[in-house]
Each structure stands twice: as structure tokens, then as C-alpha cells.
Amino acid sequence: MFRNENVFNSRVPGLVATLQRSPYDWNYTTVPQPGLNGRSILIPRGHILGGTSSINGQFYTRCSSSDYDREAYNHLFPGLSADWLQAERWTEPADGHDTTGEYDPRFHNKNGMTYVSVSGTPQAIDSKVLEASKQLGGDYAYNLDFNSGDSLGIGWVQLTVGHGERSSSATAYLGPKYINRSNLHVLVGHQAVRVLNTTSRGGVPSLRTVSVYIGPVHEVTAKKELILSAGVIGTAQLLLLSGIGDPTEVRSKGIEPLVNLPSVGKNVTDQPFLALQWGLGINGTVTPSEALQQQWLAQWNQTRTGPLSSIGHNHLGWVRIPDESPVWSQYEDPASGRNTPHIEFAFNGGAFYPNPGATLTTVLIGLQPVSRGTLALNSTDPFEHPLLDLAFLDSDLDLYTMKYAISSLRRFLKAPAWDEYKLSPVSPLPDDDDEEGLTEYLRNFGDSAAHAVGSAAMSAKNASYGVVDPDLKLKKATGLRIVDASIMPYVTAGHTQAPVYAIAERAADLIKDSWK
């Protein structure tokens, strides 16, 4: 793992695409996915201090309030607002423009930890998106602030960017003010390889010891408890390597079972993703020239402004499949409530700044997948990636949702606001009524939103399933608590970064309360 301070591309918001498939990415891939016509796909995870918050797209979406009213979450979050606000430090965008009407200050905090702002880089399509929203209304009505608890509609993006730089868990929680504390020691280049049984009382393991690879393997024992935050992939792999999981499964790898928790590595859930490019029918270039890129870089270096101070996406859209849709006579609605979207749009006006480029890039995400995947050990080698099966598009409902996303996006792009452009798909896209063609298109070009959760899911205290209790302590053991996206029993209807920050803030309170 790398320190984050000197990784230039991590600091620059607009260089996010360069971080995938880099040394700062674990470079996990799935096993071949039948739902994606046998393709294996990349699942980016941060191999850098700050984890994936140091390489992700920087979207900050709390999702709908209904997501946290589910029984699976409300044991952990009896009062959610304080945890959101502790995690957030709202700041003005890099270009300092007037943000009136772009967010609602009632739902934000200027004194928290992680910088959050709207985009500081205007795009020519911004006015088109807003005009189309006004013309169409309904599903596409303007939403002043989708982080208010009601996320439906079209609104300005909010990003973990402050003063033109990425804000991550490393820059926020391990910044200079904290990393030099006498009671904090941050080690990089070390990897936890197993959790060990320290002592047992009444047959209940106490898991306060961890094996750490530094070249040789060292054992480190906590006086109070271990906090495991290795992420949705690393956490489940480490548990299984330690004999924590399905006894039959771990024994098949020659590992002695330690804690019988069959839910470890199950319930893994990720959101399907599709990127579509639309020709604008104007002159422009998709890829900026080398000279222009150097100009942007010089501007960022000098002032922390310009195209590289943001990510290109200035607006997001959140849409529900209608309640009267015939699909709900066949399937139960997986959304948590009527203020919870099923699909997300993101709009990027291309790289030619300040005018739009030759293309409009749109991103579609199925927010409420019902397909469930698994994570299993490939071997007992902790440095070998596990077998990750995300079961993409295994469900007909997930396929329907993505098809609906395409048709809904097409409706939005037919608003009169877009008339000056001659929008057409860059690559052939089947018509909305071509069910077989759309299915094949999604299986050939669908991808991951990289929002996987659930491999060590939380459940009620006395539930017979799950991996952690609502206090985030491992079931059937003492001494170990898990704090990362793996504990999320459902993927929330948006990007997972903000919910994980809230989980971490809540966990900090739980831990402090335990040791008063």
C-alpha cells in the first residue's frame, strides 16, 4: 500500500481515470460473468492510504432517507443526520462561483471532516440539462439538493473535492493535524494476512490478534479490540483465511474453522453500469490535444482551478420505474421507498473546454440490483486475489431496470433543449422495443459501478444469518469489529462513499461508548 500525499494523480480530481489499473489499484477482477456473456471485469479498489476514497470518482450521494429506514439499517442508525454532518465539511467550489440555487445549505455542515462541494468547472451542456429538466418536469424535475433525503429528479453533482483537490479519508482523517498524534501509528507496506484467536472464554473466541506481513510475519495483539476495514473484498477474504465463515468451505482449503459464520462472502451486491456516448453533430475533439492537457495541468498547478479541478460530470439524475409499471406484477419492488430511485444518470459534456466536445457521455446505473454474488478463496495465499462473482445481470429485473434506464435517458435527450445538437449514439444502440437486441447490448457492454457491498453483512443481534451485529462486532466472537462497506446488507440507491463515511462516524461513537 502507498502513502497518498505524493501520489499526484490522486490529488487531482480530473485525473481519476488514470488511477484504475495503476499501482494504486488492487486490480481485482471478477470471475467470468454469465450475465455479461462470459466477460471478466475490473473492480477498482484503492491500494493506497485512504483506500478507494483515494481513487474513486468522488461522488458524494447520501441516497434516500428510506434506504436507512429499512430494518437492516435502522438498528445501526437510530439517528442518521448527525453521522452525515460529522463526516462533511461543505466548501465553495474551486472557481468560487455563486452556488445559490445549486444546493440547499440546510442539509450541510461546514465544520466536519471531508470536503464536499459542487463542481467548479462549468460546461456548455449545463444549461441544456437544466432546460430539459424544466421542459419535461415529472421524473426529470429539478431537485435543489439530492442529499436532502429525497434524491429524485435532476440536480447539481456534489463531490468530495475541496479547493480544487480530492478530499479522501486519508486527507481528512489522516491529515497533518491527526497523523502525527502520539497515539496513532500508520504503517504502509504491511498487509494483514490472518486474524488469530487470542483467548477463548466459554468456547467464544477472542479475536484480538492479527498476523501482519512485513517481509517476515509478525503477530500484533490489541489490548481492547481489532477494527477490520479492509473493504468489501479484503475483509471477507481475511475472515475466510482466518477460518471465519462456512466451516465446510474453509475446511476445503485446509483451514481449521474458527467461527461458524456461513454468511461470510455471501450477499455480495454491486450495481450494473453502462456508459453511452452520443455524437453532438458539431465540430470538436473527443480527446484534448497534448498542448491543451498541459495547459489544464499548468492551470491546476498554479491555481487549483480549471477542468482538472473537477471530474466532468456536473449533473446527476435519479428516476424511479413508475409504480404502475407492469413489471411490478411480476417482481417485488426492491427500492426502499417511494422517494428512492431505481436508476441514475450522469452527464459529461466531453473534454473540449469550455465548449462541448464531439460527444456527450452519459452514464447509467441500476441502483437497486436483486442479483447477489459471492466471494470465495482461490487459495490460502493471502496475496492471491479471491474468486469474486458479482452475478451481474443474473436477474431479469436487473435487465429490465437497465433497459428502462436507456429508454428514460432517450426521453430526456429528446427534450427541445437539445435541438441544436443532432444527438445520435456513437455506436449502434438497439431501439427501445428491441428486447433481444438490448439484452445482448447490455451483456456485451455492461460493467460495474464499483459500489460492491455486503460480503460481511450486518443483521439483527439474534439473527441466524449475517456476520456482524448492529454494534458492528463479529457474531459468535469477541474482540473484532468490522467497519467498511462489507457490513452493508443492501446497496443503497446511489454511490456508496457517503454511506461508508456515515458508517465510520457511527462506528467511532460505538467504539468510544464501549470503552468509556
Q: Does residue 451 have an active-site annotation?
A: yes
The answer to whether the peptide bond before residue 32 is cis (omega within 30 degrees of 0) is no
Kindly list the distances between the CA atom of residue 413 and the CA atoms of 6, 319, 345, 346, 421, in Å, as whole numbers in the listed order: 41, 14, 11, 12, 10
Q: Does residue 495 have an active-site annotation?
A: yes
Query: Is this structure's pTM higher than 0.85?
Result: yes
pLDDT confidence of residue 414: 97
Closest CA to 498 of 25, 54, 47, 58: 58
Q: How many Å apart are CA 7 and CA 47, to the nearest integer?
A: 12
Rg over CA atoms, the chain: 23
pLDDT tens sequence for the chain (516 residues):
788 988 999 999 999 999 999 999 999 999 999 999 999 999 999 999 999 999 999 999 999 988 888 766 766 665 556 787 899 999 999 999 999 999 999 999 999 999 999 999 988 889 999 999 999 999 999 999 999 999 999 999 999 999 999 999 999 999 988 998 999 999 998 999 999 999 877 779 999 999 999 888 999 999 999 999 999 999 999 999 999 999 999 999 999 999 999 999 999 999 999 999 898 877 655 556 778 889 999 999 999 999 999 998 999 999 999 999 999 999 999 999 999 999 999 998 754 333 445 788 899 999 999 999 999 999 999 999 999 999 999 999 999 999 999 999 999 999 999 998 889 998 899 999 999 999 999 999 999 999 999 999 999 999 999 999 999 999 999 999 999 999 999 999 999 999 999 999 999 999 999 998
Question: CB under 8 Å to 350, separation ≥6 — which residues?
Answer: 280, 284, 286, 312, 356, 357, 358, 359, 360, 361
Contact call for residues 45 and 51 (beta carbons, < 8 A): yes
Contact call for residues 294 and 515 (beta carbons, < 8 A): no
| 199 annotated to bind ligand | no
Closest CA to 226 of 456, 500, 483: 483
Which grid cell is 267?
A: 450477499
Question: CB under 8 Å to 5, separation ≥6 — which residues?
Answer: none
Of these residues, 47, 108, 315, 451, which one is catalytic?
451
Q: How many Å apart are CA 193 and CA 211, to the nearest integer?
A: 6
pLDDT confidence of residue 352: 37
Contact call for residues 441 and 430 (beta carbons, < 8 A): yes
DSSP state of 135: H
Closest CA to 258 of 219, 213, 209: 209
Question: CB under 8 Å to 187, separation ≥6 — which residues?
Answer: none
pLDDT confidence of residue 353: 36
Contact call for residues 18 and 376 (beta carbons, < 8 A): no
The domains of the chain, with CATH numbers, are: 188-268+453-514 (3.50.50.60)
pLDDT confidence of residue 284: 55
